[in-house]
Amino acid sequence: MVTIRSHIAGTVVSIVPLGSRVAAGGTVAVLESMKMEYVVTTSEAIVVDRVDVAVSDVVDAGVELLSGSSIDVSEDEVAPVHGSDDRLLSEVIDRHRAGLDVARAEAVTKRHGSGRRTARENLDDLIDADSFVEYGPLAIAAQRRRRDVAELIERTPADGLIGGIGRVEGQRCVVASYDYMVLAGTQGMVNHRKKDRLFELAEQMGLPVVLFTEGGGGRPGDVDMPGVSWLDCLAFALFGKLAGSVPTIGINAGYCFAGNAALLGTCDVVIATEDSNIGMAGPAMIAGGGLGEFAPTEIGPAQVHNENGVVDVAVADEATATAVARQLLGFAHGSIVEGVAPPAEMARVVVPENRREAYDMHTAIDAVVDVETTVEFRREWNPAMITAMARVDGRPLAIIANNSLHVAGAIDHGAATKAAEFMELCEKWQIPILFLCDTPGFMVGPESDAEGLPRSAGKLFRLGANLTVPFGTVITRRGYGLGAQAMAGGGFKEPLFVVSWPTGEFGPMGLEGAVHLGFSKELAATPAGDQRDALFADLLDQMIENGKATNVASHFEIDDAIDPADTRRWIRLLFD
């Protein structure tokens, strides 16, 4: 005989009838206590011989509920197990599926017809497979008062913002993408709350953030939530605070207006496709302000922002943008990957034999970093200064370099600003810096000063003197005056090393100018023409000889004059 007792005090909700055949593990009764139901099972197969309680009886713990005789039962005689409601599970599965691309064929076809990928396709490309945990996928737009819920589920999945935590190259990262297939990627009330949640998690967990920003800004159609101006939303301040703690990368393709553009501009790095239009207002807001009628393609085209410095990395399409974002996250994380070194002799032929011939400093960068690892920042903005990230021996490295193809490599206000802002990024991301110096110094003259150069030049010295990341300087040719010192953190004894290629020339100012200024009396006393020209040439040759790399190294004003092929060995000093 098998006796089954109650294991808690409660009310009998159900009990099997007399004569029931119940398999081992089958349910024989259900008790309710504190608004919860508790299942009572039998440990072995029985036929119920006696039932001691009835439905609605209140029993104490240990009370006999029923008893029965042990039996053998076949599978088709097993009593139903008390379990979950399959309808609830199906609803959850169906709701999640409704937000997937496979359930939105019409919208996806339209999206692909515009030449762009869906938000989920971009995230799938960015994130390592099977590593994504999505937050708020069942959210819908706050428009229940004006639209049917079924329609909102179908038309506004995830309230137009897909976001969560995933891994990129094995490292955890907060990722989010506005979904242009939902109300033109606008910022709804619920997706604002989702951003708040994700940004708070990023700060709490110290995770980088990648944000795809395509969308039209604020959404006036959300009517379910009380409010007037919505100026107390948290997302912009929360995202701004992340600037002081974690790497943030923004990616844009297509239209990006108002609030979407504000978040994009807050990112450490902005990646944008060539078909991007980025503006602090869209056509409707501009027209509403009485500022004229503009097509969205007339507002903030990518080329304008490539040239004004808004865009850090310009790319052709979303696939390239996503690949660059993966690269940048690897730099920010400090990951080490296998690298391919360029031929050592490449560096020996970078600088022309003619000391006055301009050359492209990009060739020097290619000669010292790992092959095909360079990502250049703001290429079209102030091109006299090159800023880039790459790898050496697979390790992340930042490069700040003068480019003699533009204003002879002189550091004007724009070039100083570009270098300073990049130094701030390198300091935040903790990436070592290599300065490649070939500059005649700071740009001079009233026009240059009027641009604000005294302030931007001073910022270079201020930032350089307070860098905590390792940095070093290689002089490829000209190292003149204050500009050369700025390319070395303020002076030649500030970096971990200052070395020069054999083509290096040094002086407190440009050598031609130094001759004119330092020997003005001698030149003035010499008859004009061939005689004065010969004196000038002779004095200049003396200065070139005195300022050449090997002589400066002999005075130990620099750490060494080196074979350019040996540059990578010095760079390794920047790494732990």
What digits encode the pLDDT tens for the residues 416-468?
Answer: 999 999 999 999 999 999 999 999 999 988 998 899 999 999 999 999 999 99
CATH number at 224 reads: 3.90.226.10
pTM of the model: 0.86
How open is the CA angle 482-486-488, to the nearest 5 degrees? 120
Residue 521 falls inside a structural domain: no
Q: What is the mean pLDDT of residues 77-98?
A: 74
Residue 442 Cα distances to 64, 190, 460, 489, angstroms: 95, 51, 11, 14
Residue 543 falls inside a structural domain: no
Q: Do 277 and 143 lie in a common domain?
A: yes
Q: Do 373 and 309 lie in a common domain?
A: no
CATH number at 27 reads: 2.40.50.100
Give the chain's domain count.
3
- The total of other beta-carbon atoms located within 10 Å of residue 72's CB is 8
pLDDT tens-digit map of 240-283: 999 879 999 999 999 999 999 999 999 999 999 999 999 999 99
Q: Do 98 and 156 lie in a common domain?
A: yes
pLDDT value, residue 223: 85
- The total of other beta-carbon atoms located within 10 Å of residue 129's CB is 8
Residue 331 Cα distances to 213, 327, 389, 408, 422, angstroms: 22, 6, 8, 30, 14
Domain that holds residue 379: 336-504+548-574
Q: In the 8-state DSSP scheme, what is residue 146?
A: T
Q: Report percent pLDDT > 70 for the chain.
A: 96
Q: What is the mean pLDDT of residues 125-137?
A: 96
Q: Which residues lie below 8 Å from residue 338, measured CB to CB, with a gap of 6+?
A: 394
Q: Do 104 and 51 lie in a common domain?
A: no
Q: What is the mean pLDDT of residues 148-172?
A: 95
Of 517, 519, 448, 511, whose CA–CA distance to 481 is shortest? Answer: 511
Q: Do 262 and 176 lie in a common domain?
A: yes
Instruction: With cut-offs at 50, 70 and 90, classify the pLDDT of residue 86.
Output: confident
Q: Do 204 and 311 lie in a common domain?
A: yes
Instruction: With cut-offs at 50, 70 and 90, classify the pLDDT of residue 168.
Output: very high
Residue 212: helix, strand or coil by DSSP? strand
Q: In the 8-state DSSP scheme, what is residue 448?
A: H
Residue 84 falls inside a structural domain: no
Residue 511 falls inside a structural domain: no
Q: Which residues lie below 8 Å from residue 518, measured CB to CB, with a gap of 6+?
A: none
Res 77 pLDDT > 70: no
Q: Do 269 and 320 lie in a common domain?
A: yes
Q: Are 411 and 486 spatial neighbours (Cβ–Cβ below 8 Å)?
A: yes
Amino acid at site 420: A
Q: Do 257 and 366 lie in a common domain?
A: no
**Pair of tokens at residue 245:** 């703690």
pLDDT tens-digit map of 492-542: 999 999 999 999 999 876 777 666 666 777 777 788 888 787 777 777 777
Residue 528 falls inside a structural domain: no
pLDDT value, residue 230: 67
Q: What is the mean pLDDT of residues 273-295?
A: 92
Residue 12: helix, strand or coil by DSSP? strand
Residue 446 Cα distances to 393, 481, 510, angstroms: 45, 18, 18
Res 561 pLDDT > 90: yes
Q: Provide the mean pLDDT of the chain.
A: 92
Q: Do 166 and 67 lie in a common domain?
A: no
Residue 469 falls inside a structural domain: yes
Residue 454 falls inside a structural domain: yes
**Pair of tokens at residue 78:** 């097993």
Q: Report percent pLDDT > 90 for the chain.
A: 80
pLDDT tens-digit map of 153-162: 999 999 999 9
Q: Do 464 and 372 lie in a common domain?
A: yes
- Look at residues 45, 77, 109 and tell me which one is the last residue of a structural domain: 77
Res 83 pLDDT > 60: no
- Judged by average pLDDT, the poorest of 286-290, 390-394, 522-526 is 522-526
Q: Do 301 and 373 lie in a common domain?
A: no
- Look at residues 77, 101, 132 and tell me which one is the last residue of a structural domain: 77
**Pair of tokens at residue 403:** 């480019």
**Pair of tokens at residue 143:** 């428009």
Residue 416 falls inside a structural domain: yes
Residue 173 Cα distances to 119, 138, 207, 377, 441, angstroms: 17, 21, 5, 22, 41
Q: Do 13 and 95 lie in a common domain?
A: no
- Residue in this structure with the two tokens 């951003």, named with its chain if needed: 195
| H/E stretch holding 65 | strand 64-70
Radius of gyration of the chain (CA): 35
- Look at residues 292, 315, 331 and tell me which one is the last residue of a structural domain: 331
Of 259, 250, 273, 245, whose CA–CA distance to 176 is shortest? Answer: 250
